[in-house]
Structures are given as C-alpha cells and as structure tokens.
Amino acid sequence: MLSLLVWLPILGGVGVLFAGRDNADRARWTALAVAGLTLLLGVALWFGFEVGVAGMQFVERVSWIQAFGVEYYLGVDGISMPLVVLTAFSTLLVVIAAWEVVRYKPAQYLAAFLIMEGVMIGVFSALDAILFYVFFEAMLIPMFLIIGIWGGPNRIYATLKFFIYTFLGSVMMLVALIYLRTEAGSFAIQDFYGLALPFTTQVLVFLAFLAAFAVKVPMFPVHTWLPDAHVEAPTGGSVILAAITLKIGGYGFLRFSLPIAPEASMALDWLLISLSLIAVVYIGLVAMVQEDLKKLIAYSSIAHMGFVTLAFFLIFRIFAASGSRDAALLALEGGLVQMISHGFVSAAMFLCVGVLYDRMHTRRIADYGGVANRMPVFAGLFVFFAMANAGLPGTSGFVGEFMVILASFQAGFWYAAIAGLTLILGAAYSLWMIKRVVYGEVRNPEVDKLRDVDLRERLLLGSLAGVVLLFGLYPAPLINVMAPSLDALFGIVVPTP
C-alpha cells in the first residue's frame, strides 16, 4: 500500500512528462488519473488503518544498501497517516487548479507536482533515517523547478534562497543521523529512541535537527525565505508549500527531535517556546501591514505554524506544572490538529488568491475592493476561509487552537494569553484583508469586469470548505486516529510511572 502511494505518483509523473510532452490534454488527463488514483489509495489507507493502535502499520521492510545497513523501510502511525492523506488530497486539487491556467509546458508542470507528491509521501512514511533523508532532500528538486520555471519575475532569487536555506539545514541533520547510526547500529529511526545519549550529545543532536526542521516550519528568524517563495511561486506551488512542505518541519520535531533527544528538548524548550511566541505575535503584526495578498497569507502561515511548535514544546511545562498527562497530550493533539487544519485552510486561501490573480493579474490589495459585487459565490467562500484562518468556531481552524490554548493554561496564564493572541491577530489581518478586497465600492474598473467562479473552481473551493467544516464540527475521527500514537510518543519523551 505505502509503496504504491510513494511510487505511483513518481512513475506517473515520469509518464506524464513523456506521454504528454506534445499533447497538453493527454498530460492533463493522465495527471488527473494518477492524482485521483493516489487519493483513492490514500482513502483506502485511512479506512484500512486500525484506530486505537499506537504502533506502525502497513509496514514494508527490505534491505536496500546492505553494506551500510540502509533499508527500504516504510510504515505509518496516527501521526503520519493523516499527513499522507492530506498530501494526496492537496495534489489532486493542484492538478485540477492548473487545468486551464497553466499553458506553458503543462506536462512538465504537472509531472513536477506528481513526483513531489510521491516524494512527500515518502518523507511521511520512511522509517529508515537515510531513506527519510533521501526523500527529504529530493523534495527540493521539483519545488525548485516549479518556482524557477513557472514563478514570477524574481523567481531565481526566491528559488536560490529557498534552496540554500533548506539544504544547509538538512546537511546538519545528515551528520546527526550518521552519528546516531554509529550508536544504534542501525538506521531504523525507532532504534534511535532507545539510545541513552549523554546530555551534551543530546543537545548537539537536537540543534542539528533544529537547523533542518526550523527552516521547514519555518520558525523565526529563519522564516524569510517563505514569503519570497510564496510570492514568486505559481498558485499550485504556494498550495503545496503551505499545505504540505511546512508540515514536514512539525512532523520532524515529533518523529526525531522530541523522542531522540528528550532531555535536550526539555532543557531547550525555553528557546523553542520563545521563538514560537515571537512568530505568533511579531509575524502576526507583520502580516497586518502587507500590501500583497500572497505575502499576507504567507506571514499568516508562519504565525500559525508558530502556534504548532509552541504546542509541541510546551508539553514539558504543562506536565511539570499540572502533573497531568492528559493536559500535555491535549497540547500535542491540538498542535497536530492545527497542522492538518492549516493544510486545508492555507491551501484554500492560496487557491482563492489564484482565482483573483487569474482574472486580474495583480496581487496588490489596493487594486481590489468590491469583489463581492461581481463575484458573490467566490466572496462567500473567501470570507469563510478567512474566518477559518482566524479560528472561527465551527471551522477546523478553531479546534486545534482551542485545544492548545486550553492546555496552555496548565503551564501558566501568560502562555495561554500570548498564544490566544493568534486568534485576535488572525481575526485582525483576515478581516482587514476581507474588508479591502471583498467589500466596499468597486474602485477599479477591472474589478467591474470580473466573472464569478466557474464549475471547476467551485469544485475546488467547495471540497475544501466541506473538509474545513467537517473537521470543525466533528474532529473526533482525526483525534481518534492520532491519539494513541501521540500517547506513545509522550511516554518516550516524558517517561511516567
């Protein structure tokens, strides 16, 4: 099952590249078939997943590079499985979104996204450290091409900045993985969990992982590549960056940093909490003054992911202050729910910007105003997603944030109060954006010529609205899947009698 999910889109992408080179329609239909089949496999994975089991499921393990003990080792648990399904869902949306918009080399464009889909599913499924690293690095190539070929005027600067930041961080991680192999005698990630590493060694390993994953999240102050990448990326590139790529940073903290270096994670939690709170407050304020729609949503993503890292590293203080394992687990669950929710909401926000850009060819907020007069259906969906981004109750954006704020009270009032600023600042920049773009009088004659969303765009945005509403009103299926695995993780990170 997992090999199919990894290799079907990769091989399908290669097929699209060659079969659709001279026929754009063939490329589109082939890409749609591959992405659709991959999502069906993802749905089958969800329903075949045994809820209540903490361990790895759908495990595949064979020797790969025998001389070095490297294995082709795949498996998913309640932490990684929802991210696999999110990846498959987001890629299908990107393929549909590009149907009429991408005219320049559509086969290559769609192939890059399909190959990236397989690689990202590989990242979430890999249980061998070198296999994880190969997939982790391989993600750079298709995204580098997507931004560099189909991006905006400053795409070369954005791609180089994206590549340098992420590559330098991941080299540090490789050094840590090789060291851990010498200690564990294996590259199996779960074998690293039982190592009794000295505290100084744990700190060095933790910092190496932090260099890789902080850039991916991205955390303050290594966040500056993301707004540039978002602004220059085509709509599909922004969707995958926000919905999936950023989540790999959060996933890395859960899979590597916390369980492999628990003492260092506890000792340095002040650093991660401080950087997360800066992201929540400072980056939220930066978002409020943006004049570019994509930049505003990009900074919003950094603020929301800061909320995720806050939840993951606040668990030590929550448990120390309250002695409650349930309260700490609530923070972990809330952080992971927020990650999944942000994947759907941010994808929807960038698709909405893409809808406007395809018609107006501008992202400047000042160029809009009164869009609701010409595009009432779109306006309703855009407002809905903006409210989900702000954490409106009844949407998935509220659930994770509420769980984390509730848990944060156990660590201290001020943690919860500052974390709660996410909701206030999120409402401020979301409402400010909506007021200037959607409502008011039509000031630009070009806005008066706008046409409302067509059937394809309604399908895209409507499906995302349905998922955001579903998990906002009934998050239990998602929480039930992840809870046992997070409980097991907490037992490794904070051993309790």
pLDDT of residue 162: 85
Q: What is the mean pLDDT of the chain?
A: 89
Rounded mean pLDDT of 84-102? 90
pLDDT of residue 424: 87
Task: Report yes or no on 12 lying in a domain.
Answer: yes
Q: How far apart are the first and last CA of the chain?
A: 37
DSSP type of residue 179? H
| Phi-psi map region of 142: left, alpha, beta (phi>0 left; psi -120 to 50 alpha) | alpha
pLDDT winner (highest mean) among 278-282, 320-324, 474-478? 474-478
* Cβ–Cβ under 8 Å, residues 256 and 212: no
pLDDT of residue 383: 93
Task: Report yes or no on 316 lying in a domain.
Answer: no
Tokens of 41: 């496999």
| pLDDT 10s digits, 284-297 | 889 888 888 888 99
Give CA–CA dist 28/32, Å, rounded.
Answer: 6
Per-state percent for the chain, helix, strand, coil, to nearest 5: 75, 5, 20
pLDDT band at 107 (very low <50, low <70, confident <90, very high): confident
| pLDDT 10s digits, 484-497 | 999 999 988 887 65
**What is the residue range of 129's domain?**
1-150
Give the CA distances from residue 484 to residues 50, 77, 376, 437, in Å, rounded to whole numbers and listed in that order: 11, 9, 43, 43
How many separate domains does the chain show?
1
To the question of pTM greater than 0.75 for the whole model, the response is yes
Rounded mean pLDDT of 303-312? 89
Task: Report yes or no on 423 lying in a domain.
Answer: no
Q: Is the pLDDT of residue 20 over 80?
A: no
Task: Report yes or no on 139 lying in a domain.
Answer: yes
* Cβ–Cβ under 8 Å, residues 59 and 71: no
Give CA–CA dist 197/267, Å, rounded.
Answer: 14
Give CA–CA dist 33/259, Å, rounded.
Answer: 39
Task: Report yes or no on 112 lying in a domain.
Answer: yes
Tokens of 160: 């180089």
For 330, counting Cβ atoms within 10 Å of its Cβ (0-12 exposed, 13-18 middle, 19+ buried), the class is: buried
Task: Report yes or no on 140 lying in a domain.
Answer: yes
* Cβ–Cβ under 8 Å, residues 468 and 345: yes
Would strands 70-76 and 57-65 be described as parallel, antiparallel, or unpaired? antiparallel
Residue 118 contacts by C-beta under 8 Å, 6 or more apart in sequence? 5, 6, 7, 8, 9, 10, 13
**R_g over Cα of the chain:** 22
* Cβ–Cβ under 8 Å, residues 62 and 131: no
Q: Is the pLDDT of residue 309 over 70?
A: yes
Give CA–CA dist 408/402, Å, rounded.
Answer: 10
Give the CA distances from residue 189 to residues 169, 180, 285, 304, 419, in Å, rounded to whole numbers and listed in that order: 19, 9, 39, 28, 32
Q: Is the pLDDT of residue 282 over 60?
A: yes
DSSP type of residue 126? B
pLDDT of residue 380: 93
Tokens of 40: 């069906």
CA neighbor of 30 nearest in space, from 98, 113, 110: 110
User: What residue type is 291 in one-letter code?
Assistant: E
Task: Report yes or no on 330 lying in a domain.
Answer: no
Percent of the chain residues topping a pLDDT of 70: 100
Lowest mean pLDDT among 37-51, 84-98, 435-449, 474-488: 435-449
Task: Report yes or no on 135 lying in a domain.
Answer: yes
* Cβ–Cβ under 8 Å, residues 404 and 266: no
pLDDT band at 128 (very low <50, low <70, confident <90, very high): very high
* Cβ–Cβ under 8 Å, residues 419 and 407: no
Rounded mean pLDDT of 364-391? 90
How many other β-carbons are positioned within 10 Å of the β-carbon of residue 117? Answer: 31
Q: What phi, psi does 153 have (nearest 5°)?
A: -60, -35
